[in-house]
Amino acid sequence: MVSELRPRTNGSVKSPGIARHGRLRKQGPWGTIFAFIGASLVVVLVSGAALGAIVVAQLSSNIETVALVGETEGPPPSIGAYEGGFNILIVGSDECENDSGCGGGREARLNDVNMILHVSADQTNAVAVSIPRDMVVPIPSCPRDDGSGKMNSAMSGRPINESLSYGGLPCVVLTVEKLTGLDIQFAGKITFQGVIAMTNAVGGVPVCVNDRVYDRQSGLDLPGAGTYPLLGNDALAFLRTRHGVGDGSDLTRISSQQVYLSSLVRTLKSNETLSDPFKVYGLAQAATSNMTLSQGFSNPDTLVSIALALKNIPLERVTFVQYPGTTGQGGIYSGKVAPVKSKADALFAKILADEPFSLASAGDGRGSELDPNAPVAAAPTPTASAGASGAPVEPEPVLDVLDIRGQTAADYTCAIAN
């Protein structure tokens, strides 16, 4: 239980940020938590050649790898920014890590968190799409690890969090590719212990709630409205709580998870984590010791290249959205989440075309809402009427507004208590 309430800053409501995704140029801080492994290695490498070589060798030996379907190792990219766009799938598993068993239904392997990060071809924007664990989707036939046949027959509709149990991380990748139409180049799986270790390594994550959040099942008890610095088990309990936030559904839980993820990205920047060698090593050690990575994602050169590609994406252009879904449907969707195809098609048409889009507001008013005490945003610099050469500067385009839940990493939001 967290007993210390951090005083909230006085300020005005931050206006909803625009979720930009596409070919817009703007410099800014490194943008997204999904580059933490590579970004950590970047700092280690540049801090000293001899020390860097030793540390990278140690971290590389920690990594457990798995081959994706059709993946070939091939030569790694040279040290430098990764060229073009790419997709990374991050899977959170509740599988048991105790040899003597865990109980509570954790003997089965379930992928309860499925988040795909798409980086635009010009690397100016990133969109992270969370897929609800209870969403019923087609699951393809997945091959066995040893290549001796198939683990399962193709299924037209099963909860997506079963896909890990059918064929491990490669099966989750195949399922998400079929659902989204995206080709996934990199994938990683993290367990409960990994979340705890990483949160501790970064020194805690401040999370805002609008009222008391209590969930006996996850063990979370935040006594009232305010911002709490969450560490270890408390951070894990916040990410797992379903009954303590929103309407108690998986959909509003994703919204509160986006509150945490956005704050985590800001924490990494504001605390200057990447300039602290001890924090950098601790974060990299926690990540590599508690993750399973696809072969192409585990090469240190690749991690460094991805981090260099991501480091200049500003917070307001890192967007967290939820795969459109709804509850209350019958048939195979009874008690589960049904995809809303029209909204999903609109979202992935934008992502596949690398076209920018905006969200109607930050937070969905059901699982999260804007923090009324958020820091006041700095006033934007007025746009000049002409460039340095005298040529007119093109105004920023009017962006299509997508009716989906989400926020940017720059948006300060609070989880809504149940």
Which residues have CB under 8 Å from 192's CB, separation 6+? 94, 97, 236
Using pLDDT thresholds of 50, 70 and 90, give the confidence band for residue 310: confident
Average pLDDT estimate for 384-408: 70
| pLDDT score of 143 | 87
355-367 tens-digit pLDDT: 888 898 888 788 9
One-letter amino acid at 188 equals G
Q: Which H, E and C letters describe 108-126, residue by residue?
A: CCCEEEEEEEEECCCCCCE
**Burial of residue 384 (number of CB atoms within 10 Å: 0-12, 13-18, 19+):** exposed
Please give the class, per CATH, of domain 33-376+401-415. Answer: alpha beta
Name which of 57, 82, 35, 50 is nearest 300 in CA terms.
57
Give the residue, 258 or 19, on which the prediction is more confident. Answer: 258
Using pLDDT thresholds of 50, 70 and 90, give the confidence band for residue 388: low
Alpha-carbon distances of 113 from 194, 224, 403, 405, rounded to whole Å: 13, 27, 22, 17
Half-sphere exposure of 161 (CA within 13 A, CB side): 20
Tokens (6 digits) for 202:
């970064």
Kind of pairing, strands 86-93 and 186-191? parallel
| pLDDT score of 245 | 94
| pLDDT score of 202 | 82
What angle is formed at CA 257 by the lines to CA 265 and CA 352, rounded to 5 degrees?
A: 75
pTM of the complete model? 0.79
Phi, psi of 336 (to 5 degrees): -125, -170
**Strand-pair partners of 129:** 116, 321
Q: Are 131 and 160 in contact (CB under 8 A)?
A: yes
The domain locations on the chain are 33-376+401-415
| pLDDT score of 176 | 97
Using pLDDT thresholds of 50, 70 and 90, give the confidence band for residue 383: very low
Average pLDDT estimate for 183-204: 86
10-42 tens-digit pLDDT: 333 333 333 333 333 333 333 334 444 444 444
